[in-house]
Each structure stands twice: as structure tokens, then as C-alpha cells.
């Protein structure tokens, strides 16, 4: 039976049943999702993730080989000339802020963590340019790629969670897994609905699905494998609860200006 009345009024039990179906469908489509940012170490993934803000992974992947050839680790990047770094990462946008962030981040890694990326949420989010999303990307990669010294499946430390980027935000709201608009609140809702052992791969699967099927401007609802589980399907991906939330956020933004 297609779900027609879900949305903000849906019961928790019904939502949980839908989530199980969504997890299964995504798992079938993406059995072994990998981190899309090219990297050879936790340091490279940390820097690549900082560079990926407001930028596509493809662009970051084009830029990082030259960056890491020139500055192969935190010690080298910590001593880098800012102008050289800016030139190397220019295609990623906001290159001046990003250059400062990755050089300062490298300095802090060297000064405070012996040149290692700390496998610790609190320490990570204290680094320049690093927020919960970036830290969660690292924990997800550590689990999927089984990094030594990092927590793996079922042993994620308290405080870690689910990567919430623009795709995860959009899909979580279209699929009515949350009514929230802020990343941390969305993450809390998802963590309540999705089993911890699924967190890492679930966000990656949503990101791939958001790029291929449930895109921002042209969601392919007619052929979508989640359409029977998706309350936004009858609205072609643009349900009224998302439109009204967007208006509310815009109004709040106007009031605080
Ligand atoms: S049915 Fe449409 S809105 Fe729902 S997940 Fe699929 S593409 Fe996205």
C-alpha cells in the first residue's frame, strides 16, 4: 500500500516501519557505498572534507592530488605559504578561508596531536574548519575502511553520529524522517530512527541517492524505488511541509536581520 498520509502528523511507529523499508531499499541499491572523496589517510580525508564545503566532490578530487603532492602531511601543510595553498585550492571556492582553515588545522594537529588526526569527536570539532559533519565523515570512513586506532562498527563512541549534508537534509525531509531544518536537529532525529550500526553507510547511501534519483530540482518520483515509502511522492518531491518550513526559515531570517 502506498503511504499517502505520512508527513508531520505520522505516528512514530508508522515512521519506524517506513524507515526499515527505506533502509532495505537503499541497501539493495548501494550494497557497499564508499567515501566519495579520494584519500589515502585520515589527514587527507580531513582536509578534503574541509575543502568540500559548498563544492562538489569531483572538484575536490581534482584539486587534492596536487595539494598533497606539494604538502604530503600535516607537518608540510602547517608550514605552507598561504598564497601557494590558495592557488592550489582555488577551484573549490571560498579558497582564502579554506586555505587559512586547512593550514591552521594542520598547525594544530602538529602542535596538539603529534601530527595525527585524533579519533575523538570533541577534539575534532575544536580544530579550525571542522564541524560535526566533517567529524562524522571521518568516523564513517574509519568504520567502513577499518582504520587502525579508530572505532569500528557497533563501537562508535558517544557523541558521534550521522553525516548530515545538503543531500541528507533534503532526503530526510522529503522522506519525512524529520521536520527539522537545522543539521544537528536532523541528525538527532535520524539517530533515533536508524540503528547505530547503519549510521555510516545510511548517510552515504542517502548522499548517492540524492545525487542520482532524488535530486534537488528534478526528483525522479515516477521511477523512484522509494516512492511507496515516500510521503513526498504524491507531490512530485515538493511536499507542502517543506514549502512551509522554507517560508518559516525565510521569515525567521528576515526577523533576525
Ligand atoms: S519518491 Fe520522489 S521525493 Fe520521494 S525519495 Fe523518491 S525521488 Fe525523492
Task: Read off the pLDDT of residues 155-186 as tens digits, 9 standing for 90 and up.
Answer: 667 778 999 999 999 999 999 999 999 999 99
Catalytic residue among 81, 165, 189, 218: 165
256 pLDDT band (50/70/90 cuts)? Answer: very low
- Evaluate whether 88 touches 64 at the Cβ level (below 8 Å): no
Q: Is 165 a catalytic residue?
A: yes
pLDDT of residue 10: 81
| Rounded distance between C-alpha atoms, residue 176 and residue 3, angstroms | 11
Per-residue pLDDT of 197-246, as tens digits, reads 999 999 999 999 999 999 999 999 999 999 999 999 999 999 998 876 55
For the Cβ of 45 lying below 6 angstroms from any atom of ligand 1, the answer is: no
Kindly list the structural domains of the chain, giving each domain's residue range(s) and its CATH number in brackets, ordered by start.
12-31+161-249 (1.10.1670.10), 42-145 (1.10.340.30)
Q: What are the cell numbers at 256?
A: 533576525
Nearest CA to ligand 1 atom 3: 237
Q: Which atom of ligand 1 is nearest to the CA of 213?
A: 7
Overall pTM > 0.85: yes
For the Cβ of 3 lying below 6 angstroms from any atom of ligand 1, the answer is: no
- The residue whose grid cell reads 588545522 is 105
- The residue whose grid cell reads 602531511 is 73
Per-residue pLDDT of 41-98, as tens digits, reads 999 999 999 999 999 999 999 999 999 999 999 999 999 999 999 999 999 999 999 9
The Å distance, Cα 220 to ligand 1 centre, comes to: 6
Among 248, 250, 229, 251, which residue's Cα sits nearest to residue 179? 248
Q: Is 120 a catalytic residue?
A: no
H/E segment holding residue 100: helix 95-113
For the Cβ of 231 lying below 6 angstroms from any atom of ligand 1, the answer is: no
Neighbours of 176 (CB within 10 A): 22
| Rounded distance between C-alpha atoms, residue 119 and residue 42, angstroms | 9
Round the average pLDDT of the chain to a whole number and report it.
91
Lowest mean pLDDT across 44-48, 67-71, 100-104, 118-122? 118-122
For the Cβ of 221 lying below 6 angstroms from any atom of ligand 1, the answer is: yes
For the Cβ of 227 lying below 6 angstroms from any atom of ligand 1, the answer is: yes
Amino acid at each position: 500500500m502506498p503511504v499517502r498520509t505520512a508527513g508531520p502528523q505520522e505516528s512514530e511507529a508508522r515512521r519506524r516501519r517506513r524507515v526499515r523499508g527505506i533502509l532495505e531499499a537503499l541497501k539493495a541499491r548501494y550494497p557497499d557505498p564508499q567515501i566519495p572523496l579520494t584519500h589515502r589517510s585520515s589527514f587527507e580525508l580531513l582536509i578534503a572534507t574541509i575543502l568540500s564545503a559548498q563544492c562538489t566532490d569531483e572538484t575536490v578530487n581534482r584539486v587534492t592530488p596536487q595539494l598533497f603532492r606539494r604538502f604530503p602531511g600535516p607537518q608540510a601543510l602547517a608550514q605552507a605559504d598561504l598564497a601557494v595553498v590558495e592557488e592550489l585550492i582555488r577551484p573549490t571556492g571560498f579558497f582564502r578561508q579554506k586555505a587559512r582553515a586547512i593550514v591552521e588545522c594542520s598547525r594544530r594537529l602538529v602542535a596538539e596531536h603529534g601530527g595525527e588526526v585524533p579519533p575523538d569527536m570533541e577534539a575534532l570539532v575544536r580544530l579550525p574548519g571542522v564541524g560535526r559533519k566533517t567529524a562524522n565523515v571521518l568516523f564513517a570512513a574509519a568504520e567502513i575502511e577499518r582504520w587502525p586506532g579508530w572505532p569500528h562498527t557497533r563501537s562508535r563512541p558517544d557523541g558521534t553520529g550521522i553525516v548530515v549534508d545538503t543531500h541528507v537534509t533534503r532526503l530526510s525531509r522529503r522522506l519525512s524522517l524529520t521536520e527539522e531544518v537545522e543539521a544537528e536537529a536532523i541528525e538527532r532525529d535520524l539517530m533515533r530512527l536508524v540503528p547505530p550500526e547503519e549510521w555510516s553507510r545510511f548517510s552515504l547511501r542517502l548522499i548517492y541517492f540524492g545525487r542520482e534519483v532524488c535530486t534537488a530540482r528534478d526528483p525522479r518520483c515516477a521511477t523512484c524505488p522509494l516512492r511507496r515509502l515516500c510521503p513526498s511522492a504524491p507531490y512530485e518531491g515538493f511536499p507542502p511541509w517543506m514549502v512551509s518550513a522554507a517560508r518559516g526559515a525565510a521569515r525567521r531570517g528576515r526577523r533576525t536581520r
